[in-house]
Amino acid sequence: MKINNDPIKWERADEDYVISCYRELHQIPETGLFLPQTKAYIVKKLQEMGLTPVHYEGHSSVSAKICGRDESRVILLRADMDGLEMAEETGLPYASANGNMHSCGHDAHMAMLLGAARILMRYRQRMKGCVRLLFQAGEEEPGGAVLLLGQGILEGPVEAVFGQHAGNLAGLPKGNIGVKSGPVMAAKDSFSITIHGKGCHGAMPEQGIDPVVTAAQIILALQTLISRERRGTEPAVLTVGSVHGGTADNIISDSVVMRGALRTTDSKFRAYMEERIVTICTKTAEAMRAGCDIHYSRGYPVLENDPACTAFFREQAQRFWGKEQVSELGSAILASDDMACYLEQCPGVYWFYQTIEPESPYGNHHPGFVTDETLLMKGAAFLAHLSMEWFLKKEDGNCLQK
C-alpha cells in the first residue's frame, strides 16, 4: 500500500504490527520517569529490528539510531511513554487493569514510532542521514526532556526534532493532522501561596487576622491579571485550583495554603505574569495585615514550531495526506508538553493527529478515551516519509541546530 504516490510502501503485516504494538502497550501503562514494563517492551522491539538501544541514568527513556548512507546528519523522532494514574473505563478487550491508563495517546505515539522504525529499516540504504528514535519517559510530569537534554540527546548535532500528539487536542476532522508555525502549546507554571494570619475565636475576629478572607481577596485580584492586563488575543489562563485552611466553622485559622497554575503562550507575558502574581499576593496580604510566602515554579516552556521547518513539514504533509487532510491550526492551545524543551534548543515541528471523533465526550485524559487504531499505520508511515524527505530536501543545511 502507498499514499498519494509516496515512494514509501507498507504491507498488511506492517499495519498488524503497529496495531499489535498499540494494544500491547495499552495494557501496561505506567506513570512518571520509571516505566520498567514499557521500557522492556520497547527494548525488545528495537532489538528484534537489529537496533541497539541506548539507556539513560535516572529514568526509563530509550533511544536508538537508524543510519543510512550519510552518518553525519541526524534528525530526532520523539514519542512519549508514560500513562496517567486513572482507572480505565473503555471496556476494551485489551484495557489496562493496573489502575493506570494510556488516556493521552502515548501508547499510540510509541506504536507509530515503532512502525516508522520498521519501515525505515527497510529503506535505510536510500536514506541520506540518521534518524534517532527517542522513547521518552515522564512527559506528564515531572518532565523527562530536561533530563535527556542534560544527557546529550541532541548531540550529533541533531538538525531537527519531530513529534506528534494523537487524540482530540485540536478538534480537527477525524484523520486530519493540524500544524502551525510559532506557538503551538502553552507554557505551564505552578505556584503555591501560604497566607499567614492570626488565629482567634470566630466571635471575636478583631483579635485575629483572617487568612481565609485574605486568600479570597488574592484569588479575586489574580483573576484581574487575565481580564485586565492581558491582550484580548493572547491565550492565557490562571487557575487557583486548591485552597486549604481552617479546622472549624467558629475558628479563624492561622493560615491558608493555595495552589495554582498559569498557562501562557508568550514568553514575555509569562515573565510579566510571574512578577505580577508575586506583587499582588504580597501587597494584598500586606493590606490585610497578613503575611505571605510564595513559591513560584517554572514548568514547561512555550512550545514553538520553527517557521522554516513548519513550511517543509506542511509541504510534505500535503503531499502525503492530501491538502484536504492537513489543517492549519489557529491560536495555540493551552495544554502543555515537554516537547517544548527540545524545540527551545533545536528547530523542529510538533503536530496534532486527530485519532478520535472531534465531538466525542471522551477526550484526552478521560477514562473513556479510545484511539482509532486503524489510523495508526498512516501516522507511522508519515513519520518515515518525513524522515526520508528531510534528508533529500534539506541538503542546503536549512533548519540546522540553533
Same domain for 282 and 331, yes or no, is no
Assess if residue 3 is contained within a domain.
no
Q: Is residue 402 assigned to a domain? A: no
Q: What local confidence, expressed as pLDDT, does residue 402 receive?
A: 39
Q: Could you say which of 274, 298, 322 is where a domain stops?
A: 298
Cβ atoms of 62 and 46 within 8 Å: the answer is yes
Which residue ranges make up the annotated binding site? 104, 106, 140, 165, 365
179 lies in the same domain as 43? yes
User: Do 155 and 216 belong together in one domain?
Assistant: no
| Residue 91 and residue 207 share a domain | no
In a domain, 399, yes or no: no
Q: Is 158 exposed, middle or buried (0-12, 13-18, 19+ CB in 10 A)?
A: buried
Any domain includes 201: yes
In a domain, 2, yes or no: no
Same domain? For 26 and 146 the reply is: yes
Sign of the alpha-carbon dihedral angle for 376, 317, 314, 124: positive
Domain-ending residue, one of 298, 313, 341: 298
Residue numbers in the chain where pLDDT is lower than 50: 4, 397, 400-402
One domain for residues 37 and 177: yes
Do residues 157 and 63 share a domain?
A: yes
- Over residues 162-218, the pLDDT tens digits come to 999 999 988 999 999 999 999 999 999 999 999 999 999 999 999 999 999 999 999
Binding-site residues for Mn(2+) sit at 104, 106, 140, 165, 365
pLDDT at 3: 52
* Number of domains observed in the structure of the chain: 2
How much is the pLDDT for 236? 96
146 plus 219 within the same structural domain: no
Residue at a domain's end among 235, 265, 298:
298
pLDDT at residue number 400: 45
Q: In terms of residue numbers, what domain contains 265? A: 187-298
CATH of the domain at 362: 3.40.630.10
Q: Which residues contact 112 (CB under 8 A, 6 or more apart)?
A: 18, 79, 164, 166, 376, 379, 380, 383
Residue 56 shares a structural domain with residue 179: yes
Q: Are residues 285 and 319 in the same domain?
A: no
What is the CATH classification number for the domain harbouring 277?
Answer: 3.30.70.360
pLDDT for 90? 98
